[in-house]
């Protein structure tokens, strides 16, 4: 499945952290999407970006994670490498005394980060636009939400 980008499925957003509407374009090579930086809090985010309904449509096709033209070549085949990366991340988080509380992973995919966080966080919650990925991730989390935050 491919989403043809048009003005109808793009939105310009204010900063998701502080709500400020003024930002600087910092990376423009993903035409029509741009990485921008909020002038108030310095957070980086996409604007314009696909609308949530367009993302839900794109992620509703399971081939996005397994050989689709718009997604990963194979998310499942990357499991070993991703889990090793996330295990190292959890080690570094614990070393910095940032573990123990609640973890929210936005865009959790199949939950490989949530899996590696099991012994480091009391509560693990994920979100994903793919219903299939959210279902897969739910075995590693306390709760996974289908959709955005």
Per-residue pLDDT 10s for the chain (149 aa) are 334 445 578 999 999 999 999 999 999 888 889 999 999 999 999 999 999 888 888 888 777 666 655 556 677 888 999 999 999 999 999 999 999 999 999 999 999 999 999 999 999 999 999 898 999 999 999 999 998 87
Closest CA relative to residue 76, chosen from 63, 86, 88, 90: 63
Q: What pLDDT does 6 receive?
A: 52
Q: What pLDDT does 144 receive?
A: 97
- Whether 14 contacts 41, CB under 8 Å: no
Q: What pLDDT does 1 receive?
A: 36
Q: What pLDDT does 15 receive?
A: 95
pTM: 0.72
Residue written as token pair 């980086």: 44
Q: What pLDDT does 3 receive?
A: 43
Residue 55 and residue 149: Cα distance in Å, rounded? 13
Residue 120 and residue 123: Cα distance in Å, rounded? 9
Q: What pLDDT does 107 receive?
A: 92
The helix (H) or strand (E) run that includes residue 92 is helix 79-95
* φ, ψ dihedrals at 73, nearest 5°: -70, -45
Four-point Cα dihedral 42, 46, 48, 53, nearest 10: -130
């Amino acid at each position: 499945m491919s989403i043809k980008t048009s003005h109808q499925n793009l939105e310009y957003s204010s900063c998701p952290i502080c709500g400020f509407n003024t930002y600087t374009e910092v990376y423009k090579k993903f035409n029509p999407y741009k990485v921008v930086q909020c002038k108030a809090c310095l957070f980086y985010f996409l604007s314009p970006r696909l609308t949530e309904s367009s993302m839900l449509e794109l992620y509703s096709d399971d081939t996005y994670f397994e050989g689709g033209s718009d997604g990963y070549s194979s998310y499942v085949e990357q499991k070993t490498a991703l889990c090793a990366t996330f295990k190292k991340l959890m080690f570094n988080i614990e070393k910095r005394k940032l573990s123990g509380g609640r973890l929210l992973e936005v865009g959790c995919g199949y939950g490989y980060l949530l899996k590696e966080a099991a012994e480091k966080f009391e509560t693990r919650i994920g979100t994903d636009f793919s219903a299939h990925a959210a279902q897969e991730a739910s075995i590693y989390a306390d709760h996974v939400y289908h959709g955005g935050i």
